[in-house]
Structure 1
Amino acid sequence: MILEEGCAKMQFFQPSKEREDENAKIEEAGVDLKVMIEEMESIDVPSVFICPISLEPMQDPVTLCTGQTYDRSNILKWFSLGHKTCPTTMQELWDDVVTPNSTLSHLMLTWFSQKYLALKKKLKDVQGRALEILNMLKKVKGQARVRALQDLRQLVASHVNARKALEENGGVALVFNFLGPFTSHAVGSEAIGIIVCLDLSSEVKRSLMHPAKVSLLVDIMNEGTIETKMNCAKLIEMLLVEGNNETVSSLSLLVGLLRLVRDKKHPNGVVSIGLILLKKAIICSHESVRSSLISLGAIPLLIELLPSLNNECLEKALYILEVLSTLPEGRMALKECPNIIPNVVKLLMRVSERCTQFALSILWAIYKLAPEECASKAVEAGLAAKLLLVIQSGCNPVLKQMSSEFLKMCSLNYSTSILVSKCMLTTTIQ
């Protein structure tokens, strides 16, 4: 009685004609309770439908002599383990018969049927709405086009069915065509927001690699909101994965990535994604791209950012600097950065072994260019003590060997006693 009153309050009961129509639809679709439960696993289910043992919706509710209801498979498993009690009340069972709870079964079927049909209708409506917007986009212009693209972006970002409707009805090509030479930033931002949600073919990716498209993408990224910047960055990452050297060598792309890295309005996510893309661009590019980055001022920019970066970004920035230091112009640019040696020395043994290795490689590159000047500044900044820490630590042998050789090089300009004092060690250790 209590159960029925509670269910009535939850509006489980409908006029008999509606219930018959709904049940007929479910029967016609050939969907049973188990399938509906599985397909709607993310929805909130009333607690009265939950089995106290598994905490999952019941598929075959049965009631014990204590009045407690469980899913049949769960309570039978409980009995098979030798239990003779009710799992909820822990009462001894005076009767081990399990009685099918047909009332609850019917209520569950009715409730899940309503939700299932509503879900299917919603999915159908989503597909219909996506197709409606696609047809609208073929006709409208200006702000009407921007609004239609906004609606479509929200749909494809939230619903798999909307993305499927686009991909199966020429929507990808339609949206892609909006990225043309006269595209406004408003239209371009929305179009890119849609494209990054879709499963792009190799043909579409190759089309996006056209220099004009890359240039437009960078322009939109530079001027856009944080959301637009992130969407553009995702699309650039997809293109870099393709490994197209023409795309990577685009000066406008490199400039755009450096602007991402120096973005002070959004220092967290944007700077991080900018460093990730710069790293990928360096990995999959030729020496000419690295030379271009150096000429665009990547080295002083990254050196300036080092003190403000978190550990994850710091490792990426040091990696990029290490790669650029392999070029003569990269070493010269490093040497000309003010306070670079003390700032890099501070990073040794501070974050991770990889960061220490990158930092040491950068110092080594500067040392090759100006041995005496580098050694003097590095020792004054406390390099010798840091190198001894590396040698005595559990770092990899290559890093230890590099530290040992660097320490020998630095010691050439100092007497033993002065070097020891620079290491802040006692004469006993000497």
Structure 2
Amino acid sequence: MISSWRQRRATRRTARGTGSDMRELTIPSHFRCPISLDMMKDPVTLSTGITYDRASIETWIEGGNFSCPITNQPLQTLDSIPNHNIRKMIQDWCVENKAYGVERIPTPRVPVSPVQIRDILEKITAAARRGDGDGCKSSVEKIKMLAKESERNKKCIMGNGASHVISSAFQALSKQEPLEKSIEILEEMISAMAIMFPLQEESIKNLKSEASLQALVLFMKGGDLSRRRNSILILKQIISSYPQKATKLGEIQGALEGLVKLIKEPICSSSKKASLFITYHIIASSSNPQRFTKVLLEMGFVSLLLETLVDAERSVCERALGAFDGICERKEGREEAYAHALTMPVIVKKILRVSDLATELSVSIVWKLVKHESEEEDGRAKVEALQVGAFQKLLLLLQVGCSEWTKEKATELLKLLNNLHRDSLECIDSLDFKGIKRPF
């Protein structure tokens, strides 16, 4: 019993001694990066002969510094050479001190070089010219793999124009007949371009061609969630840069159905915003929007937008209101809006509650519905607007300030509603005015 007690006491002393030794353990100075003063994980040597941790020296150079931090000498080249000797010494030291809680640093992957990237991109270009889908696919897969390895690789890939080369190859292969022959490689290219968002302007120029749009719509309509999401986000970038392409996009068979499906069953918030954005531009930019409006109304677009608006976040709300405003440009759209019981309550609710843009769009919608109300409607839109507090909200809007366009529409609305206002009871939610800044 006494011996066991002595053993336990000796064990405690050893433990205390180990802790003391651990606190005294110091990292050799030549293992530390001169910039971060931390132990180097990926030591590289510059042209001046000084070794740094790769992450630290690359951050230094990216900050616009082209001299050695220690010697202050100008760098003859920005390329760095992996210092395998120092790295091996650090790893051996880590293993020797494993008992003190030191973990061995992993052997870093050698970053891809611009020369390697350019070589792969040249192979993609050559394969696309030959119509060699398999050759393109293997090279694109290699680009994707390298981009996922590290952020540095991704920057190198993007900096050498990978998105332009891949989008150009996508345009070329999307022209092949039948398109189904190139499905696998085109899908791989879409996935690769998604890693490089936002795409460069030159890349978007390639993707706005009719053949490219046809292929992107095909992927947007069906398939796995990843390719549908990537396709709609690429289409959004195209329409952002070239709004006039919205009409061409809307004319592609199945495009509107695919957009409505993504709004109704969104893959993520970004895909829903992109779908609403594109739909709005299809309606707004067309010289004959009636054909698009008719298709959308047949798919229950008004009900879908109102359901979206009930509890949508700010950016989704703004895009949904934009699409609703576009629908109300047409008589058919307004008739559908009149027939829906939620139209006035939901739209008026957004005035002064979401953002300046949402307020402007909401006033525009109410103005269109009230202004263009036919005699057959018997003033129902006006009565509904008053019942949900439109008159008081418009008065407050003029007091707190708004754009000249919105001010003009709000003033006209007040005149249209004034005759009925005296005999009506308005339903006001005090939360609608929460956070409103007084003009005095």
Specify the TM-score bucket, using the shorter chain as the normaliser.
0.5 to 0.7
In structure 2, C-alpha distance between the alignment counterparts of 1:421 and 1:201, rounded to whole Å: 53
2:259 aligned with 1:257:
yes
Q: Is the 8 A contact 1:156 1:162 kept in 2?
A: no
In structure 2, C-alpha distance between the alignment counterparts of 1:167 and 1:312, rounded to whole Å: 28
Q: How does 1:299-318 map to 2 (within 5 A)?
A: 299-318=302-321
In structure 1, C-alpha distance between the alignment counterparts of 2:429 and 2:235, rounded to whole Å: 49
Q: Is the 8 A contact 2:318 2:358 kept in 1?
A: yes
In structure 1, C-alpha distance between the alignment counterparts of 2:158 and 2:366, rounded to whole Å: 53
Identity %: 16
Structure 1 segments unaligned to the other structure (5+ residues): 13-21, 27-31, 63-70, 72-104, 426-430
Q: How does 1:270-281 map to 2 (within 5 A)?
A: 270-281=271-282
- Cα 1:41/1:405, change in 2 over 3 Å: farther
Q: Give the SS at the match of 1:412.
A: helix
Q: Is the 8 A contact 1:372 1:413 kept in 2?
A: no
Q: Is the 8 A contact 1:222 1:256 kept in 2?
A: yes
Partner letter of residue 150 of structure 1? E
Match of 1:124 in 2: 115
Q: Give the SS at the match of 1:43.
A: helix
Q: Give the SS at the match of 2:361.
A: helix
In structure 1, C-alpha distance between the alignment counterparts of 2:350 and 2:166, rounded to whole Å: 50
- Cα 1:327/1:176, change in 2 over 3 Å: closer
In structure 2, C-alpha distance between the alignment counterparts of 1:162 and 1:401, rounded to whole Å: 48
Partner letter of residue 233 of structure 1? I
Q: Is the 8 A contact 1:384 1:422 kept in 2?
A: no
- Cα 1:265/1:58, change in 2 over 3 Å: closer
Q: How does 1:84-103 map to 2 (within 5 A)?
A: none
In structure 2, C-alpha distance between the alignment counterparts of 1:363 and 1:46, rounded to whole Å: 56
Match of 1:336 in 2: 339
CA displacement at 1:147 relative to structure 2:
6.2
Partner letter of residue 275 of structure 1? L
2:336 aligned with 1:349:
no
Match of 2:141 in 1: 150
CA displacement at 1:209 relative to structure 2:
1.0
- Cα 1:202/1:344, change in 2 over 3 Å: closer
Q: Give the SS at the match of 2:56.
A: coil
Q: How does 1:109-188 map to 2 (within 5 A)?
A: 113-115=80-82, 122-129=113-120, 149-155=140-146, 158=154, 160-161=156-157, 164=160, 174-179=169-174, 180=176, 181-183=179-181, 186-188=184-186
Match of 2:56 in 1: 44
Match of 2:437 in 1: none
Match of 1:16 in 2: none
Q: Of the candidates 359, 364, 368, which is equivalent to residue 367 of structure 2?
A: 364
Q: Give the SS at the match of 1:217.
A: helix
Partner letter of residue 388 of structure 2? A
Q: Is the 8 A contact 2:33 2:53 kept in 1?
A: no
CA displacement at 1:332 relative to structure 2:
0.8
2:377 aligned with 1:382:
no
Match of 1:217 in 2: 216
CA displacement at 1:297 relative to structure 2:
3.4
Structure 1 vs Structure 2 CA RMSD: 5.0
Partner letter of residue 251 of structure 2? S
Match of 1:282 in 2: 283
Partner letter of residue 114 of structure 2? L
CA displacement at 1:203 relative to structure 2:
7.9
Q: Give the SS at the match of 1:44.
A: helix
In structure 1, C-alpha distance between the alignment counterparts of 2:190 and 2:236, rounded to whole Å: 13
Q: Give the SS at the match of 1:287.
A: coil
TM-score (norm 1): 0.62
In structure 2, C-alpha distance between the alignment counterparts of 1:371 and 1:326, rounded to whole Å: 20
Match of 1:85 in 2: none
Partner letter of residue 44 of structure 1? S
In structure 2, C-alpha distance between the alignment counterparts of 1:318 and 1:259, rounded to whole Å: 18
In structure 2, C-alpha distance between the alignment counterparts of 1:33 and 1:160, rounded to whole Å: 23
- Cα 1:119/1:372, change in 2 over 3 Å: same
CA displacement at 1:348 relative to structure 2:
1.5
From the CA coordinates, give the structure whose radius of gyration is larger. 1
295-304 vs 151-160, greater mean Cα deviation: 151-160
Q: Is the 8 A contact 1:215 1:253 kept in 2?
A: no
| CA deviation profile, 1:10-46 (whole Å, cap 9, x unmatched) | 699xxxxxxxxx99xx9xxxxx549x99xx9983249
Match of 1:82 in 2: none
| CA deviation profile, 1:347-399 (whole Å, cap 9, x unmatched) | 12112233223212222332224352112222222223223322332224543
TM-score (norm 2): 0.61
Q: Is the 8 A contact 1:325 1:365 kept in 2?
A: yes
| CA deviation profile, 1:162-214 (whole Å, cap 9, x unmatched) | 8858699x8766554543422475443212234565765798446x413xx53
Q: Is the 8 A contact 2:386 2:425 kept in 1?
A: no
Match of 1:59 in 2: 68
In structure 2, C-alpha distance between the alignment counterparts of 1:175 and 1:113, rounded to whole Å: 35
- Cα 1:333/1:204, change in 2 over 3 Å: same
- Cα 1:359/1:145, change in 2 over 3 Å: same
CA displacement at 1:234 relative to structure 2:
3.8
Structure 2 segments unaligned to the other structure (5+ residues): 1-26, 35-43, 85-108, 149-153, 431-440
Partner letter of residue 68 of structure 2? Q
